[in-house]
């Protein structure tokens, strides 16, 4: 109530020169910053739409005279198989790790046992770990099980290293579900799986969306694990192909920009369509315990 | 005998998947670990094992590698003590440049992310029209991969074109520089990194600002605090947990820079844009010097532990 009253009072505050100047300054800065953050995207688009001969350094900021799709077509030709690989890797990995995360989060939130909170913190170490710290053993282990250089190996790797963050996100979400609800369904005869299936699952769509999008974005955008586990150019994920569009001597800028744009489209699309869940993921992934 | 029998039947009723085990062990099985509670633990168990092996086991394994002379694709674990560590810190010029680059990167990246992130959050918190538009634009780069960011910024910072051209248009030719091709090239890479990550920090600060009690700010203003003082003495101190989080996250980001460097410049001439992660990657996958790569990796883990340790401690308090 107080907050509403305050807002109302502020709105009625008369326009003074000082206040006007402040507003102009705020919007000026915001527009400048927005332009700064959009600048790379602008360049990405216009360069991708120019024919190679026209990618003239001195005119790099100018709009293309006519739309030329050869950049996109060549770019797509170069990264298409890898784009499909990325779909094959990312979708199952995101779905499986969300499911595992929902189970773990459910247990950490609603079936606490002695030491479970400590165990949870120990899980989180895996989320902050620089992956370099596990690369050598990872390669060795995957080789031992003949999973090195395979799509399945990469999917499994992403699922395993997704355990900490997905457990964290689901735990926060399920912690918000009142314990009374869980206790009441226990009295009604629900067991461990019954509570999950009939009480929590029906209300967890937002959590699945947040975690699924988070995992999708991170796995799609991954370069390090992909290049380590699956560097074979035929099987590698799309980001590795995008990197490889840069020749060692000359770079066809338009093709590389188009390939980069194509590779970025799925996550950009998800972000624009489901931004609310993406934002929640940002916050759930860091501050809340 | 009777009591034991009746307790067994109770367990069997709510026993779930673990019922046979508890029935078998009867009264010797601890009370806490029966029925659904046991089921819960058993469902969690595969994840516990996975984390134990793939996180903790692997870290130990990496440390072990750092104490061997393993080189070449076949693993050899001959113990050489601290030899690799000594080599790295006393004799390896590239490594010392990497450490300098880490400082360069961290200073630019962390300062930009935290200062700009806070400023952007403060601006957005001024009841502006189109807030969601600006927020969407600012956070958007975080949905873009490091490789795409790197590829784009490589073009933007291409010395004969890109941003240098903008400086020229604006008559600011003196600002033109060689970006990632310069001797301070790592700072240029950090600029691209900050483009990607500032929105994230802004989102954290914005959530923090929204969490501050409006009445408290009102009270401070009535007490005569000007805008500057309000930020300096009330808001910024209240947001120190967010700043702590931001320091940890951006610090971690500085330690593990990899894909940006791969896409922008590689290690650069004279290793001017080399990073620890890039050196580690090359030492393993190009020169097969596994012991060297393991040592670098182990050092990166140690460095991260200094940041993450305190952070997890504070999280632990929140969790319990």
A217-236: per-residue pLDDT in tens?
999 999 999 999 998 889 99
Mutant choice from A257, A266, A286 vs B, greatest count of B C-beta within 10 A: A286
What was the pLDDT predicted at A54?
A: 67
If you average pLDDT over residues A241-261, what whole number do you get?
82
Q: Is residue A142 part of a domain?
A: yes
**For position A239, which CATH number holds?**
1.10.3720.10
Q: Copy the structure tokens of residue B318.
A: 């929140």
**For position B188, which CATH number holds?**
1.10.3720.10
Mutant choice from B57, B62, B148 vs A, greatest count of A C-beta within 10 A: B148
Confidence of residue B8 (pLDDT cuts 50, 70, 90): very low
Chain B residue with minimal CA distance to A105? B44
Of the listed ranges A78-82, A167-171, B190-194, B266-270, the one predicted with least confidence: B266-270
If you average pLDDT over residues A15-39, what whole number do you get?
91
Q: What radius of gyration do chain A's Cα atoms show?
A: 24
pLDDT tens, residue by residue, B124-177: 998 889 999 999 999 999 999 999 999 999 989 988 888 888 888 888 888 888
> What mean pLDDT, rounded, does chain B reach?
87
Q: Is residue B227 part of a domain?
A: yes
pTM: 0.89
What range defines the domain where residue B265 resides?
A: 93-319
Percent of chain A residues topping a pLDDT of 90: 57
Confidence of residue B316 (pLDDT cuts 50, 70, 90): confident
Q: Shortest CA distance to B52 belongs to which of A181, A125, A62?
A: A125
pLDDT tens, residue by residue, A140-167: 999 999 999 999 999 999 999 999 999 9
Find all residues with CB under 8 Å of B16, minimum gap 6, and list them: A191, A192, A193, B35, B36, B38, B39
Q: Is residue A51 part of a domain?
A: no
Confidence of residue A4 (pLDDT cuts 50, 70, 90): very low
Q: Rounded distance, CA A287 to CA B5, Å? A: 49
Q: Is residue B78 part of a domain?
A: no
pLDDT tens, residue by residue, B76-118: 888 998 999 999 999 999 999 999 999 999 999 999 999 999 9
Q: Rounded distance, CA B156 to CA B34, Å? A: 62
pLDDT at B15 exceeding the cut of 70? no
Q: In chain A, positions 213-232, which contact chain B (CB-CB < 8 Å)?
A: 217, 220-224, 228, 231
Of the listed ranges A5-19, A198-212, B8-22, B247-261, the one predicted with least confidence: B8-22
Within a 10 A sphere around the Cβ of B15, how many other Cβ atoms? Answer: 21
Chain A residue with minimal CA distance to B42? A107
A98, A100, A274, A278, B167 from A270: Cα distances, Å: 17, 22, 6, 8, 35
If you average pLDDT over residues B203-227, what whole number do you get?
85
Q: Is residue B35 part of a domain?
A: no
pLDDT at B277 exceeding the cut of 90? yes
If you average pLDDT over residues A37-55, what whole number do you get?
86
If you average pLDDT over residues B182-208, what whole number do you get?
93
If you average pLDDT over residues A180-202, what whole number do you get?
90
What was the pLDDT predicted at B74?
A: 83
Q: Which of B50, B128, B155 sits opposite A257 (nearest CB)?
A: B155
- Say if the Cβ atoms of A287 and B207 lie within 8 Å: yes
What range defines the domain where residue A251 resides?
A: 70-284
| Number of folded domains that form chain B | 1
The complex scores an ipTM of 0.89
What was the pLDDT predicted at B226?
A: 79
Q: Is residue B125 part of a domain?
A: yes
Confidence of residue A11 (pLDDT cuts 50, 70, 90): low
Confidence of residue B212 (pLDDT cuts 50, 70, 90): confident
Q: Is residue A15 part of a domain?
A: no
| Number of folded domains that form chain A | 1
pLDDT at B7 exceeding the cut of 50? no
If you average pLDDT over residues B46-52, what whole number do you get?
96
SS3 B56: helix
pLDDT tens, residue by residue, A96-105: 999 999 999 9
């Amino acid at each position: 109530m107080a907050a509403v009253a305050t807002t109302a009072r502020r709105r009625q505050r008369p326009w003074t020169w000082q206040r006007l100047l402040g507003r102009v300054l705020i919007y000026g800065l915001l527009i400048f910053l927005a332009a700064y953050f959009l600048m790379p995207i602008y360049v990405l688009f216009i360069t991708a739409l120019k024919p190679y001969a026209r990618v003239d350094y001195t005119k790099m900021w100018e709009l293309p005279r006519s739309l030329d799709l050869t950049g996109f077509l060549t770019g797509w030709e170069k990264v298409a198989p890898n784009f499909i690989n990325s779909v094959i890797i990312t979708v199952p990995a995101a779905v499986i790790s969300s499911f595992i995360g929902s189970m773990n989060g459910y247990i950490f939130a609603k079936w606490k046992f002695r030491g479970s909170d400590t165990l949870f913190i120990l899980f989180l170490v895996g989320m902050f770990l620089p992956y370099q710290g596990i690369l050598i053993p990872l390669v060795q282990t995957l080789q031992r099980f003949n999973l090195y250089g395979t799509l399945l190996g990469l999917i499994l790797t992403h699922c395993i290293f997704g355990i900490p963050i997905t457990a964290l996100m689901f735990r926060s979400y399920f912690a918000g579900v009142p314990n009374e609800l869980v206790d009441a369904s226990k009295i009604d005869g629900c067991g461990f799986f019954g509570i999950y299936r009939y009480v929590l699952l029906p209300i967890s769509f937002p959590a699945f969306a947040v975690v699924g999008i988070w995992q999708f974005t991170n796995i799609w955008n991954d370069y390090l694990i992909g290049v380590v586990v699956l560097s074979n150019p035929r099987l590698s994920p799309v980001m590795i192909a995008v990197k490889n569009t840069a020749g060692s001597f000359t770079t066809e800028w338009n093709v590389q920009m188009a390939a980069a744009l194509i590779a970025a489209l799925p996550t950009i699309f998800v972000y624009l369509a489901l931004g609310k869940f993406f934002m929640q993921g940002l916050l759930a992934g860091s501050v809340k315990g | 005998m009777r009591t034991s029998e009746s307790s067994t039947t109770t367990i069997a009723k709510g026993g779930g998947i673990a019922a046979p085990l508890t029935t078998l062990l009867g009264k010797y099985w601890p009370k806490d670990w029966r029925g659904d509670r046991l089921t819960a633990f058993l469902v969690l168990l595969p994840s516990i094992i996975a984390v134990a092996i793939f996180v903790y086991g692997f870290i130990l394994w990496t440390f072990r590698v750092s104490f061997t002379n393993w080189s070449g694709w076949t693993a050899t674990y001959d113990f050489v003590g601290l030899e690799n560590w000594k080599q790295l810190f006393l004799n390896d010029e590239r490594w010392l440049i990497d450490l300098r680059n880490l400082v360069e990167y961290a200073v630019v990246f962390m300062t930009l992310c935290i200062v700009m992130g806070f400023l952007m959050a403060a601006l957005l918190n001024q009841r502006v029209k189109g807030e969601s538009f600006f927020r969407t634009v600012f956070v958007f780069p975080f949905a873009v991969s490091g490789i795409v960011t790197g590829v784009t910024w490589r073009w933007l910072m291409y010395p004969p074109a890109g941003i240098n051209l903008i400086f020229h248009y604006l008559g600011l030719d003196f600002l033109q520089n060689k970006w990632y091709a310069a001797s301070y090239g790592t700072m240029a890479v950090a600029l691209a990194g900050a483009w990607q990550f500032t929105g994230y920090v802004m989102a954290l600060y914005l959530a923090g600002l929204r969490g501050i009690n409006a009445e408290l700010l009102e009270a401070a203003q009535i007490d005569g605090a000007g805008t500057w003082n309000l930020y300096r003495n009330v808001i910024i101190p209240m947001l120190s947990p967010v700043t702590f989080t931001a320091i940890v996250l951006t610090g971690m980001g500085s330690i593990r820079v990899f894909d940006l460097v791969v896409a922008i410049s590689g290690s650069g001439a004279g290793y001017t844009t080399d990073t620890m992660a890039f050196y580690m990657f090359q030492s393993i996958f190009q020169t097969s010097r596994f012991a060297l790569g393991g040592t670098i990796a182990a050092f990166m883990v140690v460095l991260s532990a200094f940041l993450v340790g305190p952070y997890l401690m504070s999280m632990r308090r929140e969790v319990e």
